A and B are shown apart, each in its own frame.
Chain A
Amino acid sequence: MKKLAVVLMLMSCCSAASALEPVVNLVYHYAFSENAEPASYGSGGVWLRHEFDNDILFDLDLEFERDRGKVNVAQIKFMSLPSTDLVIGRQQVGWGVGYAVNPVDVINPRPIGATFDPTFVRDGRDAVAVKHYFDNLSNVELIYAAELIETKDYEGTPLDLYFKSDAGIKAKTNFHNFDVSASYIDRGERTFDEVVQPADRVWGLEIAGTVPVIDWGIWNESAYYSDAQKLEMVLGADYYWGDYHFTCEYYYNQFGSTERTEYDFSQLMTGRFLAQDYLIASLMWAYNEKLAFTGFGFWNMNDAGLIGGGVVDYSFNDNLEFIFMPYVLKGGSDTEVGLQKSVFGRYGAEAMIKWVF
């Protein structure tokens, strides 16, 4: 009943604010795996946008899952200054040119695998951002993000409050058909339960373009943590031919280890990878405009663990979508994927029905 109440509340909000042309999505999830009990739940959200005199944009993106609600976006964007945008409020910050992994996406990172999830919406960060455009493809962005975080233990009991803040600057241009960005991020301390990641200074570099003649897309995204003296880097390539799109990325993670005996499993809570070398590949096939298949693999090159998965995405009509995401986990108990495998088993899947209107 609580879920229904939330849905009805969202619907009534949308009706009341119909001038805002809301976009509402409702998703029914059914998940099962070899070891875990099948589970079903509802989620959804509403996105509202209003433009004031072409100069001010207001965006609100609310999301609920099970009985929990959250605000992904609640921002005001001021565009009246010449060549400058000012954004205040909870906003999505999407840095990085990588396809599946984004080392430079430090301020508002995506979880691993989000690239392949068609229902994924990025959480926002409370921030103030200023972006100045020098020309159509060159700009500089300044951002300061801060929030009070309540840490909880694994049972959800509050542990502590701490202040998390990040500040970043990024300059971007297009040079000979290559997008090139350089960034610096003053990354504040992170606390995840009892795992603490110390503050650091992060230097980022992003390059993306196409190799002439062969038309393959290539990119490099690197983040160097100067206090920890560690490098995270992605080298990638992709190609479109006909209805197919192939991507391949090598991810180098100096925070990880080549030896599985040296893995720090607590780092999994922080979203960091445990190993040093990864290969991530995907192949998407658009069978037609309604049905697309994607197969992907995350291969840990150091412990030979593998997460293989697929996405079948069928648009029944303009509003209704069916999504099926099976996965397999391969690796021993001492591998990175071993922990997930002990919970979920060797395989599982999630089926979703998504209604957007």
Chain B
Amino acid sequence: MFVLGFACASYADDNELTFNEILDQMEEAGDYSTMQGEAVMKIINSDGDETVMAFTSYEKKGKTADDDDSSLIRFTSPARLKGTAILVVGDNIWYYNNRTNRVRLLSQSAKKGSMMGSGFSYEDLELQYSKDFTGEVVAVERDHYKLKLIPKKEKNYSYMVIKTRKEDFQVELADYFNENDLLYKKMVSKDFTKIKSKGKERVMPMVIEVKEIEDGKVTRIEFDPDDIKYDIKLDDDIFSERALRQ
């Protein structure tokens, strides 16, 4: 704490951004309109057993802050999950089971639950910092801002403490705390890479890792920079029941 306090004293000055300005910058750093990517999700439990899933994901941000974001995730492996797909539009989640050809709207309580047994929940898929959080600047370090983010709507966690990079406002670390102020989940972003797409260059983490403190389970999502595209044209009907069933 002393070191942290020293760092605050050392690097805070009148030119530092306010909490809301930082949130705006973070929002802008992730301000792509669409995203398409291939990813591999590895779940490693405390015994070292590994479960590997691969999926293609599509994402489209709402045109305004009040519009819903949409995402579609289609699993491509392992074989037992191939064809399974999940559509998230705003607060709604539709799950497609290709073995019964049935689409089911899940209850919104599912949003707080684990996504396919991973350390990520469905609500982790869409974070709109300015819209979803209040909070404060906890510390200003040489290269990072440290923020406390309190969700406006009830979520799995009571609050998050995040570290965002000053150079590009990418979130490097997020600690999730429960209502008892206990750290229960830790997210780390790594391998920040410049991705060129549609003439723009964006810095994005190629690895996002979540560690669940209680059982030591680690979930790692790895993106291939060659398979990520931003701001491409994605038709609205990709985020539809029609696409879910394909």
Contacts and interface: CB of A to CB of B under 8 A. Distances in A.
Interface of A: 23-25, 49, 57, 79, 83, 85, 91-94, 96-97, 110, 114, 120-122, 131, 133, 135-137, 139, 172, 174, 177, 179, 208-210, 215-218, 238-243, 245, 286, 288-290, 315, 317-319, 321, 356-357
B105 A97 contact: yes
Contacts of A318: 51-52, 77-80
Which 7 A-B residue pairs are closest in the complex by CB-CB distance? A217-B107, A289-B117, A94-B102, A136-B240, A92-B101, A318-B78, A215-B109
9 contacts: A94-B102, A97-B104, A97-B105, A120-B100, A136-B240, A210-B107, A215-B107, A217-B109, A317-B51
A92 B90 CA distance: 29
Contacts of A321: 80
Interface string B47-84: 00101100000000000000000000000011110110
A137 to B, nearest CB: 6
Given A133-B237, A137-B241, 4 more contacts: A120-B99, A208-B105, A240-B110, A245-B113
A137 B109 contact: no
A315 B51 contact: yes
Nearest to A49: B83
Contacts of B107: 210, 215-218, 238-240
B114 interface: yes
A114 B97 CA distance: 13
Chain B contact residues: over half helix, strand or loop, or mixed? mixed
Nearest to A315: B51
Contacts of A289: 43, 45, 51, 114, 116-118, 217
B40 to A, nearest CB: 12
Interface string B2-40: 000000000000000000000000000000000000000
Interface of B: 43, 45, 49, 51-52, 77-80, 82-83, 89-92, 99-110, 112-114, 116-118, 215, 217, 236-237, 239-242, 246
Contacts of A319: 78-80
B79 A23 contact: yes
Contacts of B43: 289
Give the residue among A92, A216, A239, A318 with the most B Cβ atoms within 10 A. Answer: A318
A137 B45 contact: no
Contacts of A120: 99-100
Given A91-B101, A122-B101, A357-B79, A240 B112 contact: yes
B31 to A, nearest CB: 23
A120 B99 CA distance: 8
A243 B45 contact: no
A351 B43 CA distance: 26
A57 B245 CA distance: 11
Nearest to A237: B107
Contacts of A242: 113
Contact of B114 (A121, A215, A243): A243
B241 A133 contact: yes
A245 B239 CA distance: 26
Nearest to B116: A289
B30 to A, nearest CB: 23
Contact of A133 (B90, B101, B102, B240): B240
A241 B109 contact: yes
Given A217-B107, A243-B114, A288-B45, A94 B241 contact: no
B21 to A, nearest CB: 33
B101 A136 contact: no
